[in-house]
Structure 1
Amino acid sequence: MALSFRQSEILDLARSEGRVVVEALAERFNVTVQTIRRDLSELADAGMLDRVHGGAVIRSGMSNIGYEQRRRLNEDAKAAIARACAQAIPNNSSLFLNLGTSTEAVARELLNHRNITVVTNNMNVANILVGNESCEIMVAGGLLRRSDGGLVGDLAAQIIEQFKVDYAIIGTSALDEDGDLLDFDLQEVRVSKAIIRQSRRCFLVTDASKLSRSAPARIASLREIDMLFIDQPLPQALASKCAEWDTKVVVAG
């Protein structure tokens, strides 16, 4: 498909922000909403976007989008989520942080916490927390995933299983309507499962774009999560399930 200049810009916006909205695009390009809807439909037909109510998102697939692209997606939302999560973590506590740009945002918000111990399989988290001299950092060994600095696989899971911490802070690649946390890498999923088992309380940090994505491997259910930090209210059906499961939802922003 040969893209028009406008369609190329729309696709770039969707890649950088995760989602585009019909009305905002119509105003940006000074065209009608019907014109934008046609653009989005053509991009969806070409397999580049998925249509959602009011707009479109980058098409989900069987592989994750690149780390640098993920790092730039929804940065303001991730920062607000991270601030809210960090406020729920007391000084003098121990915690796990797993892979993901959302957990890296939390690490930045922990730089002023005192006397914390962090166990992580995320090299980026470890490098961020070097700036907190009051933080003891333990890095789980394992297979280094060069694309994002993640340590995954059996060895990483075995090391995680040697600890029992106060809090786990985890991210996810997708969150489906059943309340299941999903990911793309089975080796990463094994580590995340170990992290959940070995923590007294588990917090999920994720922006609302994950509600529009899918991935093939299941990590856990929101039933196993104590608190969910997100930037937008959940769909009513999922919010009702969280209430039934005693999973507290914190909308940050």
Structure 2
Amino acid sequence: MVLSIRQNQIVELARAEGRVVVEDLAHRFDVTLQTIRRDLTDLAEAGLLDRVHGGAVPRMGMVNLGYEARRRLHSEAKAAIATACAAAIPDNSSLILNLGTTTEAVARALIHHSNITVITNNMNVANILADNPGCEIMVAGGALRRSDGGLVGELATQFIEQFKVDYAVIGTSALDLDGDLLDYDLAEVRVSRAILRQARQAFLVTDHSKLGRSAPARIACLAEIDTLFTDRALPDALHEKCAGWRTHLHICESTPIPASA
């Protein structure tokens, strides 16, 4: 099943909030109740949601959304986050970019930087930055994950460990309320941990939809991140934790893309 932009956003909302309500969704997307009910029925048949009275909840054991679906979600927020992150990275610097649609947005925002060196295990990042003549690109070896262009595994980890860079820029599949960065793939987690170890400063780029989500594998804690670039304020308790950890918060507001009917 190929999901519409609205259906992808409904799934993300269900994951972030634990439940979606038909009336709220109809108002949010400016469509009829019948349209939302059809969406929820389609998503239930696709195994992504379970219908409940008045709405739907995430299917138990549901895995991460497909790459193309994730790429389309919250694209304006990702662009705003990427612009702010790239502005914090000067020319004449080195960095590592890991997997994810938001780190790819950062790569696009770096297209006019000069004399930078980018190490990555993301084939999409390498292809984007190939258009920047002022960027030297180093690509990790490892097992190619065709679904998202990622290179993972022990070879990728060993490659990353050969470098010491100015900045690490990583994304995450989930950020829980304890401040832990989480992911679904342990092989990817190992590479992300190596990236953080090999950088003088660590940046996390993630939009609000990842907050409060859960995934089984832990990457790190926000205490290990120098700056979090996101598009909405954190809950008060997590904001206070970040202050204690001296993790700087950079809120990058953006205008949501209207959903197609």
Q: TM-score, normalised by structure 2?
A: 0.82
Is the contact made by 1:140 and 1:160 (CA closer than 8 Å) also made in structure 2? yes
Is the contact made by 1:60 and 1:214 (CA closer than 8 Å) also made in structure 2? no
Once residues 32 and 5 of structure 2 are traced to their aligned partners in structure 1, the CA distance between those partners, rounded to angstroms, is 18
Where do residues 219-238 of structure 1 align in structure 2 (5 Å cutoff)? 219-238=219-238
Q: CA deviation at 1:12?
A: 6.1
Measured at CA, do residues 190 and 23 of structure 1 come closer, stay the same or move farther in structure 2, by a change above 3 Å? same
Is the contact made by 1:172 and 1:181 (CA closer than 8 Å) also made in structure 2? yes
Residue-pair matches, total: 239
Once residues 57 and 205 of structure 1 are traced to their aligned partners in structure 2, the CA distance between those partners, rounded to angstroms, is 27
Once residues 148 and 26 of structure 2 are traced to their aligned partners in structure 1, the CA distance between those partners, rounded to angstroms, is 32
- Per-residue CA deviations over 1:127-177 (Å, capped at 9, x if unaligned) read 000010000000010110111100000010001000000000000000001
Matched, 1:89 2:82: no
Q: CA deviation at 1:80?
A: 0.5
Once residues 144 and 62 of structure 1 are traced to their aligned partners in structure 2, the CA distance between those partners, rounded to angstroms, is 23
Q: CA deviation at 1:238?
A: 0.7
- Per-residue CA deviations over 1:30-52 (Å, capped at 9, x if unaligned) read 56xxxx89x97xx89x974489x
Once residues 115 and 14 of structure 1 are traced to their aligned partners in structure 2, the CA distance between those partners, rounded to angstroms, is 41
Q: CA deviation at 1:189?
A: 0.4
Is the contact made by 1:62 and 1:216 (CA closer than 8 Å) also made in structure 2? no
The letter for the 1-side match of 2:150 is G
Matched, 1:25 2:30: no
Matched, 1:126 2:119: no
Matched, 1:13 2:6: yes
What secondary structure, in the 3-state scheme, does the structure 2 residue paired with 1:29 have? coil
Measured at CA, do residues 59 and 200 of structure 1 come closer, stay the same or move farther in structure 2, by a change above 3 Å? farther
Hey, what does 1:68 align to over in structure 2? Answer: 68
Q: Which runs of 4+ in 1 moved over 6 A?
A: none
Q: CA deviation at 1:96?
A: 0.2
Gaps of 5+ in 1: 1-9
**Further displaced range: 10-19 or 196-205:** 10-19
Hey, what does 2:256 align to over in structure 1? Answer: none
Measured at CA, do residues 50 and 183 of structure 1 come closer, stay the same or move farther in structure 2, by a change above 3 Å? farther
Hey, what does 2:109 align to over in structure 1? Answer: 109
**Alignment RMSD (CA, Å):** 3.1
**Further displaced range: 212-221 or 172-181:** 212-221
Hey, what does 2:161 align to over in structure 1? Answer: 161
Q: CA deviation at 1:63?
A: 2.5
Hey, what does 1:3 align to over in structure 2? Answer: none
Once residues 224 and 129 of structure 2 are traced to their aligned partners in structure 1, the CA distance between those partners, rounded to angstroms, is 27
Q: CA deviation at 1:26?
A: 2.9
Is the contact made by 2:5 and 2:73 (CA closer than 8 Å) also made in structure 1? no
Q: CA deviation at 1:73?
A: 0.6
Is the contact made by 2:181 and 2:219 (CA closer than 8 Å) also made in structure 1? yes
Measured at CA, do residues 63 and 48 of structure 1 come closer, stay the same or move farther in structure 2, by a change above 3 Å? closer
Once residues 196 and 60 of structure 2 are traced to their aligned partners in structure 1, the CA distance between those partners, rounded to angstroms, is 26
Identical counterparts, % of pairs: 68
Measured at CA, do residues 59 and 166 of structure 1 come closer, stay the same or move farther in structure 2, by a change above 3 Å? farther
Is the contact made by 1:16 and 1:72 (CA closer than 8 Å) also made in structure 2? no
Measured at CA, do residues 130 and 145 of structure 1 come closer, stay the same or move farther in structure 2, by a change above 3 Å? same
What secondary structure, in the 3-state scheme, does the structure 1 residue paired with 2:211 have? helix
Hey, what does 1:77 align to over in structure 2? Answer: 77
Matched, 1:213 2:213: yes
What secondary structure, in the 3-state scheme, does the structure 1 residue paired with 2:200 have? strand
Once residues 50 and 81 of structure 2 are traced to their aligned partners in structure 1, the CA distance between those partners, rounded to angstroms, is 25
Is the contact made by 2:157 and 2:190 (CA closer than 8 Å) also made in structure 1? yes
Q: TM-score, normalised by structure 1?
A: 0.84
Q: CA deviation at 1:58?
A: 5.8
